[in-house]
Amino acid sequence: MLDLIVRNGTLVDGSGAAPRSADVAARDGRICEIAPAGSLEAESREVIDAEGLLVTPGFVDVHTHYDGQATWDPILGPSSWHGVTSVVMGNCGVGFAPAKPDRHQWLIELMEGVEDIPGSALADGMTWNWESFPEYLDELDGMGRAIEVAAQVPHGSVRAYVMGDRGARNEAATAADIDAMSRIVREGVEAGAVAFSSNRLPLHTSIHGVPVPGTFASEDELLAMIQSLAAIDRGVVEVVPAGAMGEDPDAPLREVELYRRLSLETGRTITFTLAQIQTQPDLWREVLERSEAANAEGAKLVPQVSGRPAGLLLSWETFNPFMDRPSYREIARLPLSERIVKLRDPSTRAKILSESQADGTGMAMMRNSYDTTFPLDGGPAFEPEPMDSVAGRAEREARPADEVVYDLMCDLAEDVSNPGFLHVFFSGYKHGNLDDIGSMMRHPATVVGLADGGAHCSMICDASMPTFVLVHWVRDRKRGDRIPIEQAVKLLSDDPAQLYGFSDRGRLEVGLRADLNVIDLDGLQLQTPEIIRDLPTGAPRVVQRAVGFRATAVAGQVTFRNGEHTGATPGRLIR
């Protein structure tokens, strides 16, 4: 008796090979047979007719922040709604282990500031049944989920654990500090962590404006952490570079040189975030060239890039350019229905628009991006026309862009039960196209990631990235080259799996895990983002759903049918 047969599907196996018609069978969590379409006649507990549908490996998302959510939520949406069957969390040097009891709230406030996850939800949802990193892994391992999770040892937590307030304040580590931190990192990886993560971006701060511990760590400190992995020949290194948001124009190239030295000395793979920066739109090309040159010397550098433009969603219920204006702050806490009445009042509108605002980094980036800001009044934006941007509308209507944004947000909030958004593209969208993102995705040195599942709850939902890739890059793109389905599936499955050494998944082959998707590519749709309040304490988050995933299976058990969770929780911790 088989556990699952998927019959008559178009198999895209994740290897990059051309699609073919095939049946796929699973037993005991593994693929046990792949045969010509319609030829498998064995009895099975579950049979899926996939005629006219794609059958792909489950997608692997290596850049998420479910560190807290994974301790209470067995579903781990939104990622699991988009065909993702394995995630890596603990990115960007932040997480919740190791954790001394008097540091719990501090770690929550750090995560809330860096990754925009409601602190109230984290405080209410987590059990804190751990102190050490191995104990945290045991907690994760004790709970079934709809998908599999893997954890990284975060520099910020380790530094705060060992050095206390000195570490939190980013003071220099002593030799004894470094030795103690290295032991914790090694202990975590020996217990099953898949990597060590660090953060060197000064703009990533706690809710109190304090940078992540380790942001200014010396090269000696970083080297010692990475050498602890080299000593046991296990684990990847994940880093958010300085300069990743354009705050220091020369930093990205200095970072590549640093990673080159560290990788050559330790032999470890270092993966780091890479995006197109508006102020230096072609810098990514030089970063990739430097990475290639380093790899030619024997280093192992893997820039991690996104499959969709980076940005945020503007609305009266999320981030908006009027948040710092005194007259808006007076009404900001009103329910949306009451707020809209006030915002529509001509005198209130005039006051808010006349007031100046602080020049914080986020606000400045937003105001400088009106030429890449688009209302989602017709559904999700993929590669919109420049003339449809806020700046384009403002020019046509001969009025200030702030007025256009204000009025559009009011119009989009008419249905207060489901207010709409404007999408700001901070990077990747240039001259009306996403060509640079496509080039970064296809580059042989990169891996596609940066979907940030579980994070940025009040401003974006890039966890839908796999659906974006299939809908836009594979099926619908009209303004440039598309990505063949076999290449796109490999980018979403096998490539990220191999980066982290997950040799048992990422492809549909006999003997590998039976993690798979059945997808109606013709009917696949990315829905408009929405705000829901399903986190602990009723805290809100922005999510984005999809239509067209007919089924998702993990270890041969169907976990989702037509976007609905079946109740099956075969996913465990990847050690």
Span 38-79, pLDDT tens digits: 999 999 999 999 999 999 999 999 999 999 999 999 999 999
Confidence check: pLDDT of 362 > 70 = no
Note the pLDDT of residue 368.
80
The fraction of the chain above a pLDDT of 70, given in percent, is 99
How far CA 515 is from CA of 83, 100, 281, 464, 486, in Å, comes to 10, 36, 38, 18, 17
**Same domain (yes/no): 81, 181:** yes
Tell which of 412, 427, 442 closes a domain: 427
Please state whether beta strands 59-61 and 447-448 pair in parallel, antiparallel, or not at all (unpaired).
unpaired
User: For the chain, what is the mean pLDDT?
Assistant: 96
**Same domain (yes/no): 407, 466:** no
**Same domain (yes/no): 138, 280:** yes
pLDDT average, residue stretch 169-188: 98
Counted domains in the chain: 2
**Same domain (yes/no): 326, 449:** no
**Same domain (yes/no): 395, 458:** no
Structural contact between residues 80 and 517, judged by C-beta atoms closer than 8 angstroms: no
Examine residue 533 and state whether it is found in any structural domain, yes or no: no
Please state whether beta strands 4-11 and 47-49 pair in parallel, antiparallel, or not at all (unpaired).
parallel
Task: Enumerate residues 6+ apart whose C-beta is below 8 A from 537.
Answer: 118, 120, 121, 124
**What CATH number is given to the structural domain containing 73?**
3.20.20.140
pLDDT average, residue stretch 219-239: 98
Note the pLDDT of residue 361.
58
**Same domain (yes/no): 132, 177:** yes
Domain span holding position 318: 312-427
Examine residue 206 and state whether it is found in any structural domain, yes or no: yes
Examine residue 85 and state whether it is found in any structural domain, yes or no: yes
Confidence check: pLDDT of 85 > 70 = yes
Q: What are phi and psi of 375, to 5 degrees?
A: -70, 140
Q: In a 10 Å sphere around its CB, with 0-12 CB exposed, 13-18 middle and 19+ buried, how is residue 39 labelled? A: exposed
* pLDDT (tens digit per residue) in 289-347: 999 999 999 999 999 999 999 889 999 999 899 998 999 999 999 999 999 999 999 99
DSSP notation for 533-565: --SGGG--EEE--EE-EEEEEETTEEEEETTEE
Q: How confident is residue 204, by pLDDT bands cut at 50, 70 and 90? A: very high
**Same domain (yes/no): 355, 367:** yes
**Same domain (yes/no): 154, 71:** yes
Task: Enumerate residues 6+ apart whose C-beta is below 8 A from 317.
Answer: 336, 413, 419, 531, 540
Residue 390 CA to residue 388 CA, distance in Å, equals 7
Residue 307 CA to residue 466 CA, distance in Å, equals 8
Structural contact between residues 38 and 53, judged by C-beta atoms closer than 8 angstroms: no
Using DSSP's 3-state secondary structure scheme, residue 236 falls into strand
Sign of CA dihedral 107, 167, 138, 542: positive
Q: Indicate the pTM of the whole model.
A: 0.97
pLDDT average, residue stretch 173-180: 98
Examine residue 517 and state whether it is found in any structural domain, yes or no: no
Examine residue 558 and state whether it is found in any structural domain, yes or no: no
Examine residue 392 and state whether it is found in any structural domain, yes or no: yes
